[in-house]
Chain A
Amino acid sequence: MEMNGGQALVKALEREGTEVVFGLPGGAILPVYDPIIESPVRHILVRHEQGAGHMAEGYAHATGRPGVVMITSGPGATNVVTALCDAYMDSVPVVCITGQVPYAAIGTDAFQECDTTGITMAVTKHNFLVTEAQDIPRIIHEAFHIATTGRPGPVLVDIPKDIVDPRNPRSAMTWYEPTDDIMELPGYRPATAGDPELVRAAAELICKAERPVLYAGGGILKARAAAELLALAELIDVPVVTTLMARGCFPDSHELCLGMPGMHGNYTAVTAMQRSDLLIALGARFDDRVTGRLDGFAPDAKVIHVDIDAAELGKVRVPDVAIRGDCKLVIAELVEAVRACGGAEAQPDRRAWRSMISGWQERYPLVYEQSEPGELLKPQYVLEVLRDSTPDDTIVTSGVGQHQMWASQYWRFDHPYTWINSGGLGTMGFSVPAAIGAKVGMPDRMVWAVDGDGCFQMTAQELVTASMERIPIKVALFNNAYLGMVRQWQEMFYEERYSEVYLSYEIPDYVKWAEAMGCVALRVESPEEVAPAIAKANEIDDRPVVLEFRSSAGENVFPMVPAGQSNSDIVVDPSQR
């Protein structure tokens, strides 16, 4: 079938199963926006390209399907770079289509020209510059294949205007079905199962360990391996820590779950890793926010490291057994190998380890002091009420900072794919657009964006998108008038010298602003107003809601492992010292 490149691009996206595209048109991508009118693919018109990128990420996190972005050349492309980098750091499958100036104009500093593939090379898993209309179906298929297989990640496809513009003869092409056998990727071989020898060696280490900990990372969710992890943990009866990227991959309510480790992890999760004699790292990457000072991290632990990306094995901590493979397959193999070694009966007596752990849990639970009458709200309290007044499978997204840490600490994640945040890059402003993307992908689920006032001001304009597109997300906005996490560091490490962190409670007026963007908005200032406001928000399902929680500015996140220090030097809440 003869068609033009623009039609072929839209058709190729349909063939890849795309149900929604997050985007914003402009000069170079204009010809592709014409066939979008007839396409069954839903297009969501964002207000800034960064928003499109984070929406695609939120969509991908929530559904497991790749998020698709379509934007124009030059500033459109540069605006999405933050979101691409975010997706790259957190291994989120995103396919980003960017318009480009006509092929013959590339390199001439044409209007809205930039070297998009050059700029995004370091923040994508791969990118393409398409030079011929005939290549479009194949390259789109390759882009989706690369984005979704192996260690997932963002892939960008840069498309010069002439090959999609029906008025240009260079756009003529003959359609063909994009199938796996037409891909030309001789250098791409994603890993699958683990080496049985290594799996056996890992099982033997497990069956000898007296103080083992399962260290579950975001790779568990990417591999859709939550069921396998549960089976392994229960078989060997070993406690599980879930990293910031892995929250929800193992139920917080499960007796083996220790919760989040790391800089703001709870005392038990941090200390159990620290005192462990075997860390079983599954889809985790020994991030500096988890390990603290590396030479003091888990000094007595042997390490089994399973990852689909060979470059993660030994990058930070040299493992005793390194298994390259897909977590879902390798954990299933590990379960079999442990059974072959004698299974549950072959495990050493770990009662002493368990009682140590429960001792820490009793002595150092997460704590905060409820506010006195007349004081502003404690975010921890609000999050507990929100958690207890929303369905179990509510999807929570978060920005970056104190509110993110409190949300991760105080929520109870009992289902995979209910927690969506920016872990690796730490992108402020992630929450609102990610919530929109998640709600688009999971329209029947309640979606709450937990956000801070600093973050909210970075991407709030996407609430206009949500209102116009009838995407009823809910925002819990913690207004403490500060860039709170930076304020906390200045209080603790810069002798309370507060430099450029004050934002103001009153400006902007968040309620008026949210209303101006088409949302229902409420301001909440005292504990007794919290539950009724949330109940009201939960009833609204035809437009976005913003609840502004006026929060106490001096509240700090504990526990904390100060940057550069060992996890053994964890600082607990002042009341526990």
Chain B
Amino acid sequence: MTAAAPAAGHAAPADRFHTIVTTVENKPGVLARVASLFARRGFNIESLAVAPTADERFSRITFTVDVASSSLEQVVKQLDKLINVVEISELSPAESVERELMLVTVAVDAAGGRRHGLLELIDDFRAYVLDEDQSQMMLSLAARPARLDEFEERLRAFGIVQLQRTGRVALPSLGS
């Protein structure tokens, strides 16, 4: 792993990915139905997050679709045909608040004397240190997906050991 040069082409144009938020019945097999539909119709999912809502009868599946390769209209209409899908909303980046969580382990000794630089970066991004030992530090950051992309880029200079992102979740912004 070499130092600070940012990797090219990692971040996609923001408008290429649209977020679709579906409320589904909290029943066995519903995720399989959604996944099967995507596979069958040839839609590409960029990220996917599933969890129960405040009302335990329903879950929310939030996913990001690459609209450059799939017709957003077809995705929404085909999803709407699934009996267990109760509600669908499509959130454009401008009208929504999106967050994603990242857990990442960074090699500290590889950074040598730059441990201080890492701590500065953690402060800048308001990330948290969840765990650490002599050689590694585990961090978490919940932020806009683009912010996570940026954090990930900056961490490359220190050496990423493991990295896991949750996929984005979103709600409509209050003004929209």
Contacts and interface: CB of A to CB of B under 8 A. Distances in A.
Interface of A: 117-118, 121-122, 125-126, 129, 146, 185-188, 309-311, 313-315
A121 B73 CA distance: 22
5 contacts: A118-B29, A118-B32, A187-B82, A187-B83, A309-B81
B33 interface: yes
Interface string B17-50: 0000000110011001100100010000000000
B53 interface: no
Contact of B77 (A125, A187, A311): A311
A315 B29 contact: no
A115 to B, nearest CB: 10
B24 A187 contact: yes
Contacts of A125: 83
The 3 closest A-B pairs by CB, nearest first: A311-B77, A187-B86, A126-B83
Contacts of A310: 77, 80
Nearest to B77: A311
Interface in B57-78: 73-74, 77-78
Contacts, number: 38
A311 B25 CA distance: 21
B84 interface: yes
A121 B24 contact: no
Given A121-B33, A187-B85, A187-B86, 6 more contacts: A118-B32, A129-B28, A129-B29, A146-B83, A187-B24, A311-B77
B40 to A, nearest CB: 5
Contacts of B78: 311
Contacts of A309: 81
Nearest to A123: B40
A306 B78 CA distance: 17
Contact of A187 (B25, B28, B32): B25
A315 B24 CA distance: 24
A310 B88 CA distance: 14
A523 B78 CA distance: 50
Nearest to A315: B74
B108 to A, nearest CB: 44
A146 B87 CA distance: 18
A218 to B, nearest CB: 17
Contacts of B73: 314
A319 to B, nearest CB: 12
Interface of B: 24-25, 28-29, 32-33, 36, 40, 73-74, 77-78, 80-87
Contacts of A315: 74
Contact of A311 (B36, B80, B84): B80
A187 B84 contact: yes
Nearest to A155: B83
A310 B78 CA distance: 8
A122 B36 contact: yes
Contacts of A314: 73-74
A311 B86 contact: no
B74 A186 contact: no
Contacts of A187: 24-25, 82-87
Contacts of B85: 187
A186 B29 contact: no
A385 to B, nearest CB: 44
A313 B74 CA distance: 9
A311 B24 contact: no
A149 to B, nearest CB: 11
Contacts of B77: 310-311, 313
A186 B80 contact: no
A335 to B, nearest CB: 27
A315 B70 CA distance: 12
A186 B29 CA distance: 17
Contacts of B80: 310-311
B83 A185 contact: yes
B86 A186 contact: yes
B36 A121 contact: yes
Contacts of A188: 83
Nearest to B79: A311
A87 to B, nearest CB: 16
Nearest to B78: A311
Contacts of B87: 187
A309 B77 CA distance: 9
A314 B75 CA distance: 12
B114 to A, nearest CB: 51
Q: Give the most central of A118, A121, A187: most B CB within 10 Å.
A: A187
Nearest to A150: B81
A313 B76 CA distance: 12
Contacts of B81: 309, 311
B96 to A, nearest CB: 22
Contacts of A313: 77
A125 B78 CA distance: 12
Given A129-B29, A186-B86, A187-B83, A122 B74 contact: no
Nearest to B75: A311
Contacts of B24: 187
A125 B33 CA distance: 11
A185 B84 CA distance: 7
Nearest to B81: A311
A325 to B, nearest CB: 15
B44 to A, nearest CB: 18
B86 A121 contact: no
Contacts of A117: 29
B22 to A, nearest CB: 9
Q: Give the most central of A118, A309, A311: most B CB within 10 Å.
A: A311
A85 to B, nearest CB: 12
A311 B33 contact: no
Given A118-B32, A122-B36, A186-B25, A311 B83 contact: no
A343 to B, nearest CB: 34
A186 B84 CA distance: 8
Contacts of A129: 28-29
A365 B83 CA distance: 46
Contacts of A146: 83
A243 B157 CA distance: 63
